[in-house]
Amino acid sequence: MSFEHVCVLGLGYIGLPTAATFATHGMRVTGMDINTSIIKTLQQGGLHIHEPGLKTLLDEALASGNLAVSDHVVPADAFIIAVPTPFYDDKRADMRAVTSAAESIVPHLRPGNLVMIESTSPPLTTVELVAPILARSGLRPGEDFYLAYSPERVLPGQIVRELIENARVIGGITPASSQAGADLYSAFVKGQIILTNATTAEMVKLMENTYRDVNIAIANEFARLAERVHIDVWEAISIANLHPRVKILRPGPGVGGHCISVDPWFLVETAPDITPLILTARKVNDGQPHHTLDLIREAAGGLEGKRVAALGLAFKPDVDDLRESPAVDICTLLQQSGAHVRAFEPFKPQATFPGFETVPTLEDALKDADLVLLLVAHSQFSELNPAALAAQTPARLAFDAVHGWDKARWQAAGFTLFTLGVGSK
């Protein structure tokens, strides 16, 4: 089947690139978001998120005349729900945005329409939450209109390319719904399109990220063990990974972002009695900011009154996404422990947090510092010249939480460098 007009609900890291990609492939698209500030920014040609290639893509989509933005849902042939799914303090999934999005579609739903869900969701969300809401229209899901789930599976920093090239999973509540979803995304997807049912598609996304979370957890436990027995975990990992069937991931100060740190909780919530491994991995990774705090405290000989230049707040290198970032948690914990933190995030220099001070430049962070702390391996931080940096700060103590700095170079520049995962007697 063919689609002439798509309405994309949610213009964040997934919804906006998806809307723009459809538009540049000849489809009429209305991008909708309830945040009027986002709509105003886009209407003025601006961009509210940083993603390589997205500004060029957006400009092309707007220039084509195929993309319009709005603060309300409009009638369309297909609707794509791409709204956030965070969690509550008790780690239960917060599905209010998905619920609201589905409810906003109901008045516009017509026979033959397609509704796609891209928001990461617990298993059975499509059939047990969204389908009953859409049925309030008087139309029968899977019979009068098509309903399917298709998880986003792209890497921040590579979204524009991976939307097109990655394999796409389409899970319908009926085989016809799956095929309708495949017909929609075939407008631009070059990767393989795999058809399955809705709950399997939901599980695929959660399994992918949970697999990574569990493997990061074992890497973090290896790092803690290395510190305990006084070895360098990075050397040990590099040697272990020479084995053809071993691929140990990188330890670090924690796991962040809106996928790996969130999705495993959806599985634990679904069946807490049979997911003890997933729960334990989550606890290990959620505990890494506190463990990193203890390492910094030991390296600094206490934190009370210490001035800390914290480099990086994003959840991963070279992106501006601060969601669930362990770097933010560590800065907050440092401040609560008596240190004075000046944090610099080059991809979002104007970001502010209630628990600590943020500054717009590296120079502002380094000024009067006692300790330089690397929390995110942004390229510009990994490439810093320690000799040049020494001229910008009185600090001669540095802590590397992500293995981004060469110890010999920093020592040659006069710094004492401590690294997460490296034990010392």
Q: Which residues are catalytic?
A: 205, 259
Phi, psi of 309 (to 5 degrees): -95, 105
- HEC secondary structure over 269-306: HHCHHHCHHHHHHHHHHHHHHHHHHHHHHHHHCCCCCC
φ, ψ for residue 378 (rounded to 5)? -55, 145
Contact present, 251 and 196 (Cβ < 8 Å): no
Q: Provide the token pair at 1.
A: 């089947």
HEC profile of 109-152: CCCCCEEEECCCCCCCHHHHHHHHHHHHHCCCECCCEEEEECCC
Tell me the C-alpha distance between 280 and 285, whole Å.
9
- The answer to whether the CB of 296 falls within 8 A of the CB of 288 is no
Q: 3-class SS at 103?
A: helix
Alpha-carbon distance values, 13 to 200, 321, 323 (Å): 24, 9, 11
